[in-house]
Structure formats: structure tokens, C-alpha cells
Amino acid sequence: MRPRSIAAKIILAQTALLAVALAVSAAAALALMNRYLRDSARESVRDTARMVDNIISRDTRQAALFSRLIAEDYRVKVVLEDMSRGLPFDDKALRAHLSAELDSLSADFLSVAAADGVVFVHEDRVTVERADRAVLDNEPLFLSPAFRECAAARRQAVGVEPVYPRTMAVVAMAPVKGTNGDTLGFVRLGYRLDQRFVSEVRDITDTHVAVRRRGVFVASTLPGLRGAAAKSDALRRNYFTQESPIRNSGREAAVLITATPREPARRAMRNTALVALAVGLSVFALSVLGGVRMARILVRPLDRLMHAALRIESGDLDTTIPAAGDDEIGRLSQSFNRMTESLRARDEELRSSRDQLIESGKLAAVGELAAGVAHEIGNPLAAISGYIQLLKQSPGGDRTAHYLEEMEKEAGFIDAIIRELLDFSRPSGAGDERVPLNGVVEEALRMLSFHKALRGVRVISEPDPSDPEVTGSRKELLQAVLNITLNAAQAVKGDGEVRLRVATGPDHAPPGRAAIFISDTGPGVPQDEIKKIFDPFYTTRRGGTGLGLSITYRIVQRHGGEISVPQQSGPGAVFRILLPLADSAAID
């Protein structure tokens, strides 16, 4: 699977966060919108319920007042007194009077009943069918709770109760009393809670109203519910509703239901959701485009850093990148350039150390070769010179003497060349100084740190806390440590350990001397070869010159020290160099 780039990760992260933020915001907005619409609808039905309750309270007060006034009307009393005496009475005149009173009071119906509770005159604002008129003009009131209370207590009674035909009404019942205090009859005045009433409330409040009695809707503006049995679940699914009891003498006479449809709120929610979706998608698209642009701006400097790092990896240490700005990317670019400069300086230092190491090896090899050549040629030349002296002392001709002189000159010339080679190969004593051995070891390790022979080799340095010093040539002592350390690294063949230790004290070196121990975990040096390893041109390694240890041996000797290979009980070899401490011995 192809790894994602930083730009892709930034875009994906921003897209995910934006999607989550938009989803949460949309959900919260829809939830708030739904709550607002629901609360508004419920407040509307509550307001309508309160208004209907106020209307019923007002009608109750008016019915009580108007029924009492009509019961005190002398014309009503005269008719009822005539009826009680068995005298004829003019019911038409009474009907006309009641009709006029009904119009002035804005009540729905007005009835007058005899003392036995049977209505004999009824006036109604609603047009009544002939059959209903016959019932209403002879309606017995003994089923009316208000009548029973009024007849029993001989005082006015008010309540909400069912009235003919099949509806509810606010009813006030007042007794009509004669001059002697007897009850002559009753006046009933009422305001119907019928279909006309709920329709008027619906027109005013834009909220549906229904009156339910014993599970049956006696009046309702809700479609299809008038006269039907109550279906609360279906009603609540489609409407926000509130039910308020209509009480009569503390008992529930009916239930007032106010309702507003849920569909407008649902439609508003759907429209809001569509608008929110459109706005969210637009914002999302614009944000993604902006995120892509921002990611490119942010990643472009990192891309330059990556390509610069690849060029440095390929060896181009002259690579730099422009450090624009003072933000994190700019400071990172500056740090990258400083790192490149450090790598370039270190590479140059390593190249210089490597060249110096190679040059030291070459000089040592040339010097040892010169010493060997001088040794091999010196003896024959000495013999030739001796023979020439003998020939010159013996008698002979002038020509022989001339040739012998020429031979002597040539031999002297060769001898001069040999002496120059010997002087070149012999370490110089010029520039002697106080040399800290810890520093010599650390410098040798630094020069060899990138040598191929030390790859995979664990190198351990153990300096002496007292930092002992010797008098001599730092360059020559460095060459000696380099030679032995390089031999040790070549002996372990890239898999082992080389340890360099500087030590003083009776456990490690004689008094007045310091020791350098160079050990390895290689195959070691056979006992029978220890005496030969310091001879020039002696080597057991294929490709070796056999000069490194001989040069080291001569350097140590010139500094008044000694070098040895102590016998080991285990694997590996240990070379010990003993050198006189400064101010305790003179250099030979």
C-alpha cells in the first residue's frame, strides 16, 4: 500500500474534522429548530386552552348574572303565577320577551320551566328542527345537575353539563320565587360549547379545538372526529395536543382538547434540513479546496527539505535551501542548512585525517624500506671500500690507481645516499614536548573512526583519570598508537572488540612510568612469533608490509620506553607500551 503524503494526511484530517463539525452543527441546529417548533406549537395550544378556559369562566359569570335577572323579571313571574293558579297565560308574549332578552344577552338558549321542572317555553339562537323544537319546549330538567342543585337548595346553580341535542353548555339555573317565597318555576340560560363555538375559537387562534365527553367528541374542528370515539394515539401522532378538564362542581364534566398539526413543523424541519445540507455541502467543498491549497503551501517547504536531504544522501554536501520567513518551517530550514555546513566541515576534516593517515603510512613504509635497503647495501659497500683500500696500498700502475680512485668516489657517493636514506628513516628528535597520553589515544581513535578496518568493531577507550604526560614527539607517539590499533582492528576482522587503556600505578606500570594497553579479541599472537613481529618486513597478514610494528618499536625505544606482548590465557592479544613520565627520565 502506497504511504500517504503529509499533504494527503492534512487534507484528510481537515476533511474529517470539518465533516464532524458540520454534522454536529447540523444535528444541533436541527435539534434546536425541532425544539423551538415543538415548544412554539405547545405554547400555542396552551394559549388556546387558556383562552377557552377564560371564555368558559366569562360565560359562567354572565349566565349566573343574566339568569338571576330574568328570574326577577315580573313578566316571567306573572306567567308562572298564572300557571300555578291554573289561570290561562299568554306564552306567545313570554316567548317574544325571552327572544328579545336572548338577543340582547348574546346567550345561546333561554328556557322557562314550571315548578315541576318541565320546560314550557324555550328560545334558541340556533335554528331548531321541528322535532327538536317539540322536545325542547317540553324538556324535563330533572336530569340536569344544575336543576337538581337549584331545586334542592332553592338558590341559583351554575355548571357545565350536557344539553339537548348531544352537546355541552355552560348552564345557569335560577329559581323564580313568588311573593310568599314559594318557588314558581325556573329560568335556565346557557352558552353552548358546540361546533359553532369551537369553529369560532379555531378562526381566532388558528388552533384546533375539540370537546370530548365520555370518550366521544361532541364538538371538534379536527377533521373526521366529531361524534367519533377518541383515538389518542392517532391524534398525538399527527397533532401537538393538550387536554384540559372542564369541571362541574369539582368533577370532570368534559375534556377540552386543543391541538395544532405536526405537519407544518415537520415540513419546516425538512426544509431547514435541506437548506442546512446545501449550505453544509457548499462550506465543505470550499473548505476542502482551501485545505488543499493550504496543504500545498505548508508542504512545499517540507518537499524542498526532502529533496535536499536526498541530494545530501547521494553525496552532494553543497546543497542548501532558502530559509524564507521566521516561522517553524523557516527555522527548520535554517537548522537544515547549519547541519549541512557541519556535515561539510566534518567531511573535509575526515578527508584531511584520512589523507594524513595515508601519508603517515606511506612515510613509515618508505622510511622502513630505506632502512632495509641501506642495511642490505651497506655491508657490500663496506667490503668494496675495504678492498679498494687494500688495492691502493698494493703496488700497481697509474691506471689501476686511477680506477681505484674512481671506485672509491662512487662508493663514497653510494654511502652518502645511504646515509641520507638512514637520516630520512630515523625519527627526528626535534620538537619534543609534554604529551598527554589520554589525548594521543583519543586522537588516534578519532582518526581511525571512519577507517574501513573498524567497521563493525566495538572500540572502547579507558583514559587514566590522572591524565599522565610524557616528553617526546606527539606525532611519533600518535603514529605508534595508530599502527598497533590498526593491527588490532585488522586482527578481529570486523567482528570483535578493541580496547585502548591508559594506566598508571603499581598494578599496571613500574614507578615513574605510564602504560598504554591495546588489546583485541582476535586470534592472538603465537608464542613462537612474538620475538619476530617487531622485525622489519615480517608479517603474517596477507598483503601486509611488515613495517608498522617495527616502526612502532623504534619510536617507543627512542622515547626511552619498551613495548611487549604479555602472554594471554584466553583469546586475543595485548600490546603494552611503557613510557617514562615527564620529568622522571630523559629521552635518549
pLDDT at residue 587 tops 50 = no
Q: Is 384 or 555 the better-scoring residue by pLDDT?
A: 555
End-to-end CA distance of the chain: 73
pLDDT at 361: 61
Pair 514, 579: CB distance under 8 Å? yes
Classify domain 348-425 by CATH number: 1.10.287.130
Is residue 397 exposed (0-12), middle (13-18) or buried (19+ Cβ within 10 Å)? exposed
- CATH 3.30.365.10 at 39-278, yes or no: no
Task: Quote the crossing angle between the two packed helices 74-85 and 91-105, to the nearest 10°.
Answer: 150
- Rounded distance between C-alpha atoms, residue 94 and residue 76, angstroms: 7
pLDDT at residue 126 tops 80 = no
Distances from the Cα of 124 to the Cα of 110, 228, 316, 587, angstroms: 7, 26, 112, 149
- Rounded distance between C-alpha atoms, residue 33 and residue 271, angstroms: 11
The Cβ-side half-sphere exposure at 254, using a 13 Å CA radius, reads 26
Q: What is the mean pLDDT of residues 263-267?
A: 81
Query: Domain 433-580 maps to which CATH number in 3.30.565.10, 3.10.129.10, 3.40.140.10, 2.70.170.10?
Result: 3.30.565.10
Q: Is 137 or 421 the better-scoring residue by pLDDT?
A: 137
The C-alpha cell that represents 174 in the structure block: 335560577
pLDDT at residue 470 tops 90 = yes
The Cβ-side half-sphere exposure at 535, using a 13 Å CA radius, reads 8
- Quote the radius of gyration of the chain (alpha carbons, Å): 64
- Comparing 104-118, 307-321, 422-436, 501-515, the range with the smallest average pLDDT is 422-436
Q: Is 399 or 83 the better-scoring residue by pLDDT?
A: 83
Query: pLDDT of 175-192, one tens digit each?
Result: 999 888 889 999 999 999
Pair 426, 370: CB distance under 8 Å? no
pLDDT at residue 411 tops 90 = no
Distances from the Cα of 309 to the Cα of 300, 305, 340, angstroms: 14, 6, 9
User: Could you tell me the pLDDT band of residue 420, with boundaries at 50, 70 and 90?
Assistant: very low
Pair 498, 486: CB distance under 8 Å? no
DSSP 3-state of 302: helix
Pair 432, 473: CB distance under 8 Å? yes
pLDDT at 212: 87
User: Could you tell me the pLDDT band of residue 173, with boundaries at 50, 70 and 90?
Assistant: very high
pLDDT at 461: 92
User: Could you tell me the pLDDT band of residue 147, with boundaries at 50, 70 and 90?
Assistant: very high
Q: Select, from the ranges 120-129, 357-366, 476-485, 533-542, the one with the highest average predicted confidence (pLDDT).
A: 476-485
pLDDT at 490: 87
DSSP 3-state of 567: coil
The C-alpha cell that represents 163 in the structure block: 344539553
pLDDT at residue 231 tops 80 = no
pLDDT at residue 75 tops 60 = yes
Which has the closest alpha carbon to 198: 51, 44, 40?
51
H/E segment holding residue 352: helix 328-393
The C-alpha cell that represents 270 in the structure block: 425538512
Q: Which residues of 525-534 are buried (b: 16+ CB within 10 A; e: fewer)?
A: beeeeeeebb
- Rounded distance between C-alpha atoms, residue 417 and residue 577, angstroms: 34
H/E segment holding residue 136: helix 130-137
To the nearest 10°, report the CA torsion of 534, 538, 539, 544: 110
Pair 560, 585: CB distance under 8 Å? yes
pLDDT at residue 139 tops 80 = yes
Pair 266, 178: CB distance under 8 Å? no
Q: What is the mean pLDDT of residues 421-436?
A: 64
Q: Would you kindly state where each structural domain of the chain is located, as residue ranges?
A: 39-278, 348-425, 433-580
Instruction: Label the pairing between strands 208-213 and 562-564.
Output: unpaired
pLDDT at residue 374 tops 70 = no
pLDDT at residue 427 tops 80 = no
Amino acid at 548: G
Pair 450, 356: CB distance under 8 Å? no
- Rounded distance between C-alpha atoms, residue 413 and residue 277, angstroms: 107
Is residue 240 exposed (0-12), middle (13-18) or buried (19+ Cβ within 10 Å)? buried
Which has the closest alpha carbon to 58: 152, 170, 184?
170
Q: What is the mean pLDDT of the chain?
A: 80
Pair 181, 205: CB distance under 8 Å? no
At which residue does the C-alpha cell 364538538 appear? 219
- Rounded distance between C-alpha atoms, residue 70 and residue 108, angstroms: 15
Tabulate helix, strand, coil % of the chain (nearest 5).
55, 20, 25
Is residue 55 exposed (0-12), middle (13-18) or buried (19+ Cβ within 10 Å)? middle
pLDDT at 586: 47
Distances from the Cα of 357 to the Cα of 73, 206, 370, 486, 556, angstroms: 142, 105, 20, 11, 19
Pair 473, 554: CB distance under 8 Å? no
The Cβ-side half-sphere exposure at 275, using a 13 Å CA radius, reads 9
Give the rounded percent of residues in the chain with a pLDDT score beyond 90.
20
pLDDT at residue 409 tops 70 = no
pLDDT at 347: 78
Q: What is the mean pLDDT of residues 466-474?
A: 92
User: Could you tell me the pLDDT band of residue 389, with boundaries at 50, 70 and 90?
Assistant: confident
pLDDT at residue 279 tops 70 = yes
Query: pLDDT of 317-330, one tens digit each?
Result: 777 777 666 777 77
Which has the closest alpha carbon to 58: 243, 197, 153, 221?
197
- Rounded distance between C-alpha atoms, residue 29 and residue 522, angstroms: 79
User: Could you tell me the pLDDT band of residue 132, with boundaries at 50, 70 and 90?
Assistant: low
pLDDT at 190: 93
pLDDT at 439: 93
H/E segment holding residue 376: helix 328-393
